Amino acid sequence: MLGQILRQRYKILRQLGEGGFGKTFLAEDLDMPVNPKPKCVVKQLHPQMLDPAMVRRFEKEGEILYRLGQQNPQIPDVYAYFQENGEFYLIQEFIEGHNLEEEIGTGKRWTEAQTRTFLQEVLEILAFVHKNQVIHRDIKPSNIMRRDRDGKLVLIDFGIVKEIVQGGADPERTSGQTLAIGTPGYMPAEQSTGQPRFSSDIYALGMTAIHALTGVSPDRLQTDERGEVIWQHLASVSPGFAAILSKMTAYYFGDRYANAPEALQALTTTSPPTPAAAPVNPPSVVAATVAVGGHSPAAPRSPAGGSGSIPDPNSSSRWPVIAGVAIAGIAALALLIGLLPPLFRRASTPSERREVSSQPSASPSQNAPRASDSPSSTSSGSDRVPASSTPSGSNRAPANPTDSGSDRAPASPSDSGSDRVPANPTSSGSDRVPASSPPLPVPPSPRPPVPPSPRPQTQGVPAFPLDTARRDVEATLGQPTRDLRGAYGNTRAVVYNGVRDGVDLGYLFDRNSGRIRQTEASFRQSVNLPTAQQTLNDLLDGQAPDAVRQGLDRVYRRQLDNYRYQVGGAKVQIVRQDCGDIYVSIWDERLHDFVEFQQVRQC
């Protein structure tokens, strides 16, 4: 496009960037009677489907951006918006300056005062945006410019026009298959499932502020079991400011400030710290963690209760897809047939039947002893920032001692389960002189060092991705609980019950190559979300997209019963079954289509 002139006015000079929605160019306005010609930004957007309704919507959203730019000097002006040759074009003011990626990053840590100033300025812009009923949808350092001529911040790259381009790709998509607008790490859970709110912008701005304070990108931070970001140990800020940031970045949107005016009011009514203000102490108890945005936040609230773990109603593990057939008419194996969904029980034929591997007939898995739970790390070889760099040395009891089978540690020592920074933090290892001591300047005697407590870890589940050889699986897991003829193609179906407490695994192997074509996991309600998220990531060879992680999260929190997603050459389906168990299946897209929910929901 270089050298091309749009509308006989805007001459393309060079390309500035390219993304999933289109390209951005630097251009000059030939109509202006000055030299050199003023610069402008041309955004070329690629709708995959073009119809009159979409054109009208694009024009409407362009008008909204035009109005915002006209009324606020810290939002780029819109000069023109039009459709030409099947493409949408948005012509905007060129901001001379740099984006905040140059100021925020590894080795660059802002002070609380700098971060407060930044937040107040952006919240003032965002308050204007929200009052006009617009959600930005993609707040992050690269979308905040610092203008050269006055040093002011400018909010760029609104997501409302991108939504039109996205909507044209699949207008009939379901909520479980939404392609979200936003950036992992800065994007909250509800936005990743296509349901942004004003508070979604508050979350993204809060994560940007935490990035500035800590020098750590959000996708490398850890979260606790409720999905709350653990960051306070990486920055020295006042308790009041820490509480504001924690509320801005709360996992559940109902716990955040509802919009920018509300967040701005909280910020301006909280006094900055005096020079003598004590830094925020790191939490003494480290929570089990998962990565953000990447995120795989945990459930802070479920309809069944407020804990991050749903009680186990003593249900047995179920297998809805992988075992396609079972022996009929034999009482000892009738129990196994109950583990299969109706579709695959009906699909069984005499030619497909085969006896189960020759181990003694047993009662269902709930009566069988489980393998012992030796904890293992949630992420091998990960470069994620640890949740805390200090040993806890705490002798306090866990916040939830009745949570049987869990290896999780509480997010904080308080009974409320909140990870908010206390208003008056105290140190268990304080060297202050007790009140009963005589008022003499006696130096405190040194305390013996407290040995570090082991870091709580998520249960490790030895899951295997597609294309893994059967011999590698058996080298780790041993002989399967069941070995049957698979329901799809030339496959063998194997099941491993009780790999970890509440976790069963299953695989469909190609009978010729001996490699996995479908990989599955079944989680009882007692399994915590970090364990399920880590297993899902392992089943996808360590490359689970953020949308899939969020899909599991929504099913875990009972917001969805059936989630579907296609990534590369694989299909993913996550189901909440009638008994409450969560069933995850990933398979080669050539093997079969998505399974109807009614056929997999039964336990």
The catalytic residues are: 138
Asked if residues 486 and 508 have their Cβ atoms less than 8 Å apart, the reply is: yes
Sequence-separated (6 or more) residues with CB below 8 Å from residue 274 = none
Cα–Cα dist 567/557, whole Å: 23
Q: What is the SS3 assignment for 452?
A: coil
Q: What is the SS3 assignment for 509?
A: strand
Sequence-separated (6 or more) residues with CB below 8 Å from residue 56 = none
Number of H helices, E strands in the chain: 13, 19
DSSP string, 74-138: TS--EEEEEEETTEEEEEEE---EEEGGGTSBTTB---HHHHHHHHHHHHHHHHHHHHTT-----
| Greatest distance between any 2 Cα atoms in the chain | 91
Cα–Cα dist 555/545, whole Å: 16
Q: What is the SS3 assignment for 205?
A: helix
Dihedrals phi, psi of 144, to nearest 5 degrees:
-125, 115
Cα–Cα dist 173/87, whole Å: 22
Retrieve residue 120's tokens: 């107040």
Dihedrals phi, psi of 83, to nearest 5 degrees:
-115, 135
Cα–Cα dist 32/173, whole Å: 44
Strand partners of residue 522 = 504, 583
Phi-psi region of 541 (alpha: psi -120 to 50; beta: other; left: phi over 0): left
Sequence-separated (6 or more) residues with CB below 8 Å from residue 280 = 232, 235, 236, 237, 238, 239, 242, 421, 425
Q: What angle do CA 394, 398, 403 make, to 5 degrees?
A: 160
Cα–Cα dist 501/530, whole Å: 14
Asked if residues 1 and 12 have their Cβ atoms less than 8 Å apart, the reply is: yes
Asked if residues 292 and 222 have their Cβ atoms less than 8 Å apart, the reply is: yes
Strand partners of residue 44 = 23, 89
Cα–Cα dist 575/300, whole Å: 20
Cα dihedral angle (244, 249, 250, 252), rounded to 10 degrees? 140
* 15 CB neighbour count, 10 Å cutoff: 14
